[in-house]
Chain A
Amino acid sequence: MISHSRRTSYWQAAPLAAVFLVFFVLPLLATLTVSFWSYTGYSIEPAFIFDNYRDAFDRCIVSLPDLCTTLRTYLSTLKFCLVVWFITLVIGFTVSFYLTFHIRSTTTRLVLALLCTIPFWTSNVIRMISWIPLLGRNGLVNQTLINLGVIDHPLDWLLYTDFSVILAFVHINTVFMIVPIANSMSRIDRSLVEAARDSGATGWQILRHVIIPLSKTGIAIGSIFVITVVMGDFITIGLMGGQQIASAGKVIQTQISALQFPIAAANAIVLLAIVLMIIAMLIRFIDIRKEL
């Protein structure tokens, strides 16, 4: 009987497994294989060489302490990751907290939660591009500030800088934090909060010792969303950074455009490895499966 039900569960998992196999595992294996191939401007040749990985980390050791292109690119991307993660976490947590613990009517909560998703009604790229006329040298923000007499000259740092990139990232990704965190919070048993309060805990203590630990799953899931999106992004960094800021994705795209598939594949594998390491680290801190 047990063996029968086990077989049933395998069958039930099979469709998803098949989809994963065809659309995820096989392409990934192909990418891994091609990353060891050699190439010319017009062809790729099966081989087993490490040249592509060596090129990806070209002069990374010898030029230390100066950073090579790859390290510099990943460092810049990691910096965005960290800053965006922190800001989206603070905003996402606050919004979720407000939605869950301060709004008492379920209807209001639902309406407000839906409001958070409104930006998703249009495409990512459009949401980003809309910032450009706002932040440009002759954009709305600069014009308003000049008209108000706050500044004499337009502020150039508003657009095509780290600032505009982070702004767009936060704008796009905060909702990825809100949804899982709000979901975790809504499952916190209110009597726990009441018990803490009855035992004389301050609001801050309740937050630190009750709510944050019980929201950890949501925080971890939200973090994984935000970190993977930012690590692999090249459109936001390209558009909002005026293409002056490197990203791992853009490096890969440039190489694909030049038909250098093997080195692009090698870079994709490196990117994947780095993202996996970050996620492995996160999961070490929070066992998502146990907490779910």
Chain B
Amino acid sequence: MKKDNTTDLSRRQVLKGGAALAGAAAGSAITGFPAVIAAEPVTLRYLSTAVNQSPAIAERAAKDLGIKIEYVTVTTDDVTKRIITQPNSFDLVDTEYFALRNLIPSGNLMGMDAKRIKLVDKLVPALTKGEVAGKKIGDQGTAPHKVMYLEGQNSKKFASSPTEWITLIPTTYNADTLGIRPDLIGRPIESWAELLNPEFKGKASIMNIPSSGMMDAAMVIEASGKHKYGDKGNMTREEIDLTVATLIEAKKAGQFRAFWTDFNESVNLMAGGETVIQSMWSPAVTAVRLKGIACKFQPLKEGYRAWASGFGLPKTLKGKELDAAYEFVNWFLSGWAGAYLNRQGYYAAVLETAKEHMEPYEWAFWMEGKPAEKDIKGPDGGLLEKAGSVRDGGSYDQRMGAVACWNSIMDENAYLVRKWNEFIAA
């Protein structure tokens, strides 16, 4: 990709950007519409789930860029639904990579021009190549690098090697595992197989979201040695049957206390002591801990189920909104927002710039897995971890390096949904 073609910097961005940005911007002409933006702030309708939205980010963007961010908050499924059914109802979308297998064929998103993304070469290899610290990580499911590039801007086909047309510019990603209540379990938990251990009868839970729930179940079944999947993120019908049969058997034996679909339900189940082991998301574990209740995002020897989300643009976006969208995406990668996400326990898409915006002790805790030198505060200033504590799962390389599979949409998705309903009805 030719760097010197990067011509869409606004004046403000150049002034605000860090050293990396200034370097990249040095030779470029200032185009775009900074004067227009200054006269009449552009508003971008930003569609995503609540996870990726924060008033602080919008406020900061308004200050740095003069772009007004208007959040449109919906659930994960509804993000997909909106892109497919109402592609004109947003200007910028933050959605998960696994949805791309449905989104790209719909033709409602455009390929993003890599030449207009200044830090495109700095995007983490975990997402662009499926590598962490030079080593290949788990590739099962919809690993982002499989769906990162398009053959052309309006192509409906994913390219197998990097091109200049990018489906989504990554915003945030993480590695998910089981959450446990160490105080109520009282012994080490090391394997996904423990989710269906009869010891936790009536105290386990799994998420009632067919695609991710099935993959968690597959991690469990593979860990128990019952079956080795070809691809946990793209099961055959027989594998789906086997997985659902195992789940039904456990359900009938009373293994599960309840299932959950949203963040708060998972927090309440765990905090109320209804469950002691369940599929969980990282900020939900933090939320339980903030109530003063012991909860651990337990690293397991079989690895993590990872996910990633990124910015996409609707095909119809043009003019100053299009320029503003690129400007905002570039700003997002330039560090402040990345540091904000890192402090929430997610990971930023460009680590170098995020590091510049974090204190060394914060970086050591969140990214290097070292004991906290001082109390660790969340982006809102609230206490997250006391000095001396260590992040569950350790460093970035340890956590992302142990990814086993990625959230996905399977070829047999329709069949999977039908079987999942059978499981719920059993």
Chain A positions near chain B (C-beta within 8 angstroms)? 39-43, 55, 58, 69, 72-73, 76, 132-133, 136-139, 156, 159-160, 238, 241-246, 250-251, 254-260, 263
Contacts and interface: CB of A to CB of B under 8 A. Distances in A.
A41 B101 contact: yes
Given A41-B101, A42-B105, A136-B274, A244 B417 contact: no
Interface string B394-411: 000000000000000100
Nearest to B421: A251
Contact of B257 (A76, A242, A263): A242
Interface stretch (B53-61, B77-85, B340-348): B77-85
Nearest to A70: B425
Contact of A58 (B273, B409, B418): B418
B102 A72 contact: no
Interface residues of B, number: 34
Contacts of A257: 77, 81
A259 B422 contact: no
A44 to B, nearest CB: 10
Contact of B258 (A72, A138, A244): A244
Given A55-B418, A76-B425, A42 B103 contact: yes
A256 B417 CA distance: 10
Contact of B413 (A138, A156, A250, A258): A258
Interface string B268-281: 10001110000000
B256 interface: yes
Contacts of A263: 414
A260 B208 contact: no
A140 to B, nearest CB: 12
Given A244-B256, A254-B421, A259-B80, 16 more contacts: A41-B102, A43-B84, A43-B105, A55-B418, A58-B418, A132-B268, A136-B272, A137-B274, A156-B257, A160-B274, A242-B258, A242-B259, A243-B258, A244-B258, A251-B425, A254-B420
B293 to A, nearest CB: 11
B232 interface: no
Interface in B70-106: 77, 80-81, 84, 101-103, 105-106
Contacts of B274: 136-137, 159-160
B68 interface: no
A132 B260 CA distance: 14
A244 B259 CA distance: 6
15 contacts: A41-B102, A41-B414, A42-B103, A42-B106, A58-B418, A69-B421, A136-B272, A138-B273, A160-B274, A242-B256, A242-B257, A242-B258, A245-B424, A246-B424, A254-B210
Contacts of A246: 421, 424-425
A259 B84 contact: yes
Nearest to B208: A243
Contact of B202 (A69, A136, A156, A245): A156
B251 interface: yes
A172 B80 CA distance: 34
Interface of B: 77, 80-81, 84, 101-103, 105-106, 202, 208, 210, 251, 256-261, 268, 272-274, 409, 413-414, 417-418, 420-422, 424-426
A243 B266 CA distance: 12
A76 B426 CA distance: 10
Contact of A254 (B260, B273, B417): B417
A74 to B, nearest CB: 10
A73 B102 contact: no
Contacts of B422: 69
B258 to A, nearest CB: 3
B240 to A, nearest CB: 13
A246 B268 CA distance: 21
Given A42-B103, A132-B268, A160-B257, A244 B424 contact: yes
B268 A41 contact: no
Contacts of A42: 84, 102-103, 105-106
B212 to A, nearest CB: 12
Contact of A243 (B80, B81, B259): B259
Contacts of B81: 256-257, 259
Contacts of B251: 244
Specify which of B80, B210, B420, B425 lies most central, judged by the most chain A CB atoms within 10 Å of its CB.
Answer: B425
Nearest to B81: A259
A137 B425 CA distance: 24
Contacts of A69: 418, 421-422, 425
Contacts of A58: 418
B417 A258 contact: yes
Nearest to A154: B273
